[in-house]
Structure 1
Amino acid sequence: MTQVLVLVLALLIGVVAGARAMTAPAAVAWGAMLGWIDVTDKWSEWMAHPITVTVLTILLVGELITDQLPKTPSRKVPPQFLARLVTGGFSGAVIGSAFFHTFSATGAGVIGAVLGTLAGAALRSGLAAKNNGSDRPGAFTEDVLAVGGGFLVAFLVSLV
């Protein structure tokens, strides 16, 4: 049962990465530093280090800002899509490492990233269509869902 829960949480952190690529690793780093994700004596222990948390938080904030810019490319172009797959898989692996399920959790994170990328794009374009083409409401909605969801997933790991 634990392995199933770990895979579900890895999938969900992948969905977060699909929405905002840097939110997932920042959330798991915070989760590791706060003790929600047990990375003690595991390959992922460095994720709990304050420098890692600080760097990933800066990258998260930078992504939230650049996402609002009109020239930011679509998340579905290859470099953007690939970044989401990598961060989703990596973030899933960190969650999985707490339970010695790194490889299967990596796969779940990648699958979640695909789902999050496609669903996030659909959500955002749908909200833009309902707002006379304005992308901002969708972007802010997605920011809140990604950041809130990422930290919720990281916290839920502590309950497994």
Structure 2
Amino acid sequence: MSHAHDFDAKVVWTGNQGTGNARYRGYARTWEVRTPGKPVIKCSNDPLLGGDPRLHNPEDMLIAALSACHMLWYLHLAHEAGVVVLGYEDDPVGHGESEASGAGRFVSAELRPRITVAAGTDLACAEAVHHEIGKVCFVARSVAFPVSHKARYVIA
């Protein structure tokens, strides 16, 4: 039996420079994510489209969400498999394409976690955990592009 889940966020455009979007170059492509009870996230669009490279854009946040979901499930499933994780960091990359019309999409993503595991860890078991995550990760199960992983392990 499945259970419904709702996820709320508040997105507020902050780029009105006095005339709204009356002129194409007359407004900023900035906004804030203001989810009640959580820190505000200042955002902009992709720098390739004139966005502020210092701020998160939707593409950054999608790839980060994919990576974070994978990490959380990895920690859970690794625990169940007896794999002791001491550190985890990822440098994920999303591969996209743009059409002449400007429409774009992700075509794939690669997660590249560096996982520090306890001495004596069975690395084959540690690696096998990754292959189970796509069956349960909310974000990975929701995207319309393939997600692969290329994990690196450090023994502590």
Q: Which has the higher contact order (CA 8 A, sep 6+)?
A: 1
Determine which structure has the larger helix proportion and give its number: 1
| Pair in the same fold by TM > 0.5 | no
| TM-score normalised by length of structure 1 | 0.25
Query: So what's the TM-score if we normalise by structure 2?
Result: 0.26
